[in-house]
Structure 1
Amino acid sequence: MVDELKVLRKGRAVFGTPLGDRVGPVLRTACGILEDDDTVAMRRKLVDKLRPLVESLPDDLKIALLAAFALDERARKPFYQERVHWAAITLDRDDRTVRRRIDEGIEQVAALAIAAAEPESGPRYPSRSWHTEELRVTLALDQPVAEAFEFRRVVVDASEIVELDLALTLNVSGEFGESVRESDLEVDVFHGGLLASREMESSDRVGLSLRLPKPLRRGERHEIGLRFRATMREPHYVCVPRHPCDLFDLHIRFGERVPDQIVRLEKAFQADARDRAPRGDVLRTDDAGEVHVRFRHLVPGFAYGVRWSTDTAEGLQTH
């Protein structure tokens, strides 16, 4: 693994083309790279595997390896030596010291990757029809009506599926006491299927059935793009997956109406998302009035996302 990572760091690292000849068998196994994966799929799997391992290292090793493998946008230079020099300037060290840090970091990442790649005792998602490999959501609260763009990559776990069962919950606070109507949620399908049906599954949850363009078999991947618009009365956006979810990436744009407090929710009970005094890490908006959070290996039935406190804010819940 160490030898293969040292080969990978050369040239443009993970952005080299093609990647096939530079990714060895141990690294392929650790990252779940398949024989027929193209360069784009290989790069995605390499980044998804290496980034969290690198980010778990001490700061000096993290910066050195983010540069070595071109995982930091600021260090995506065509030559390895240029990335080493960038890390040296960032860390206020000389190039030789950074190269030693990179070698030390590679040793640690290799050990972590091998440990994480130990075979599981059984199927990862037994008895599931499909699971979400990646869910990316952008929520804009600076619009006249709150608007969410959802891009999801699913993997088929059953022998064959023809539809995806999705849902959005428009939580209603007790002070309003009004039931949600199906018409309160606008849904547009950008790509990946046809909206076959929608119906109220409860007083506040709208169930959606998305018919796929063609039947998908076990192991196949499929991507969908959706847009949701709704007026929401609870100040949170969370994912409460009904199927397992490997990655949930969430951007929320508050714009000029920045809340007094923003809290990250991770593996919380659904009721906790509506708690007026939630527990969690406090988040700060950037200069554009945005926050960004990322969650991995979401457990079905628990809530992951963001809660904020403000007099006029709105919220939403996806599944």
Structure 2
Amino acid sequence: MTEENTFPFVRELNELRRGRGLDAADLHQRIGPCLREACGITDEDQPAAARHKLVLRLTELCGRLPADLRLAALAAFGLHEEAAGEFLDRRISWLASVLDRDPRTARRRIDLAFRRLDELLDAPASARDLHPLAGWYVESMKAMLSLDRDPPDLQEERRIVAEVDELDELVLSFSVPAEPGSDPVPDITADVLFGGEIVEARQVSASHAQFVMRLPSPLRLGQRHEYGIRFTPRRTSLRPYYVMTPLRRCEEFSVRVRFDRADPPSRVWRLNGVPGRVIDDGVDSGDALTVNRVGEVGLEFHELHQGLSYGLQWAFDPRED
């Protein structure tokens, strides 16, 4: 049995890595039938549309590979920002230097990466949520909410993927609903920890703010970028939950909440893709979480659906007079 029969996508991937890789001017003519089907490319697609579908699909699948194989595949395709635009031999030399290996080992790493991509491409593509928000999606997000501070503090680290060329700015949203009957304070601040700078803040309402963050340099289609940001609501009374409700595609989300150990909640439960009304009603999901001895709860989610909420909610026992 030949490798072509065992790994039907490998031959087509090897064709793509020649020359300038996915930056080649004739890329649309070099996309084989297996890849066209796996990436949803039709005969009606213009060259730019075909490239767009191919780059996003391969970027997504490369993100599922181990770090060394991901680097090898991105370099081979010319998708890595430090290896983009170079011819294959130079990209392999760059990969070898980064891996601290000889070029033959770098080539073997690429071959292994392509075999793993073959397996992923052969699997049915998962259905994707559609939303008019375009330009980028979240590959992973980590959040740390500290409720043992006054005011509370939320830090987020995200790895995003550009879905267009020349992506220069991100619009970031943050909501802090106030307790019913309390005096809403329309003031939410944001500070970039790394990976960009805030150039505009918009207070949309008393509980919702948007921040425009300029990136260090424009991203090209398929390029990843990481940034960290701190949100601070200038109020001490918050609703008893923390959720992420993605309006754009989000692959992975993890959150850790640190409670005040002097006044921990009596119950904490997981919210795994629920409508917003369920949170407002304060219904215990029955998926109980345990606060550890340092006052923290951590959990993670994968392949989130847009418009549904993921996170955790808590409640305190009624106080005795």
Question: So what's the TM-score if we normalise by structure 2?
Answer: 0.59
- The number of aligned residues is 214
Q: Deviations over 1:171-227 (max 9, x none)?
A: 123232x34413xx2321111111011112234111111111111111000000111
Q: Which of 206, 210, 213 is 1:207 aligned to?
A: 210
**2:135 is the counterpart of 1:129:** yes
Q: Which of 264, 271, 281 is 1:258 aligned to?
A: 264
SS in 2 for 1:171: coil
Q: Which of 238, 252, 255 is 1:233 aligned to?
A: 238
1:169 corresponds in structure 2 to 175
Report the AA paired with residue 244 of structure 2.
Answer: C
Q: List alignment gaps of at least 5 residues for structure 1.
A: 1-28, 46-112, 313-319
Report the AA paired with residue 174 of structure 1.
Answer: P
Quote how far apart the aligned CAs of 1:170 are: 0.8
- Asked if the contact 1:170–1:232 (Cα under 8 Å) also holds between the matched residues in 2, the reply is no
Report the CA distance shift for 1:236/1:187 in structure 2 as closer, same or farther (over 3 A).
same
Q: Deviations over 1:142-163 (max 9, x none)?
A: 1222111110000011233111
> Following the alignment from structure 2 to structure 1, what is the Cα–Cα distance between the partners of residues 127 and 259?
43
**2:301 is the counterpart of 1:298:** no
SS in 1 for 2:62: coil
1:171-210 alignment, distance < 5 Å? 171-176=177-182, 178-182=183-187, 185-210=188-213
> Following the alignment from structure 1 to structure 2, what is the Cα–Cα distance between the partners of residues 116 and 140?
40
> Following the alignment from structure 1 to structure 2, what is the Cα–Cα distance between the partners of residues 124 and 170?
25
2:220 corresponds in structure 1 to 217
- Asked if the contact 2:266–2:317 (Cα under 8 Å) also holds between the matched residues in 1, the reply is no
Report the AA paired with residue 316 of structure 2.
Answer: T
SS in 2 for 1:143: coil
Moved segments of 4+, more than 3 Å? 40-43, 113-117, 121-127
- Asked if the contact 1:137–1:251 (Cα under 8 Å) also holds between the matched residues in 2, the reply is yes
- Asked if the contact 1:272–1:278 (Cα under 8 Å) also holds between the matched residues in 2, the reply is no
Q: Deviations over 1:39-94 (max 9, x none)?
A: 39569x9xxxxxxxxxxxxxxxxxxxxxxxxxxxxxxxxxxxxxxxxxxxxxxxxx
1:118 corresponds in structure 2 to 123
Quote how far apart the aligned CAs of 1:117 are: 5.4
Give the stretch that moved more between structures: 292-301 or 267-276.
267-276
2:281 corresponds in structure 1 to 275
1:92-171 alignment, distance < 5 Å? 118-120=123-125, 128-171=134-177
Report the CA distance shift for 1:122/1:302 in structure 2 as closer, same or farther (over 3 A).
closer
Identity of aligned residues (%): 28
1:3-152 alignment, distance < 5 Å? 32-33=61-62, 39=68, 41=70, 118-120=123-125, 128-152=134-158
SS in 1 for 2:278: helix
Report the AA paired with residue 252 of structure 1.
Answer: V
Quote how far apart the aligned CAs of 1:235 are: 0.8
Quote how far apart the aligned CAs of 1:118 are: 1.3
Quote how far apart the aligned CAs of 1:122 are: 8.9
Quote how far apart the aligned CAs of 1:264 are: 0.5
Question: So what's the TM-score if we normalise by structure 1?
Answer: 0.59
Report the AA paired with residue 220 of structure 1.
Answer: Q
> Following the alignment from structure 1 to structure 2, what is the Cα–Cα distance between the partners of residues 121 and 309?
36
Structure whose CA Rg is larger = 2
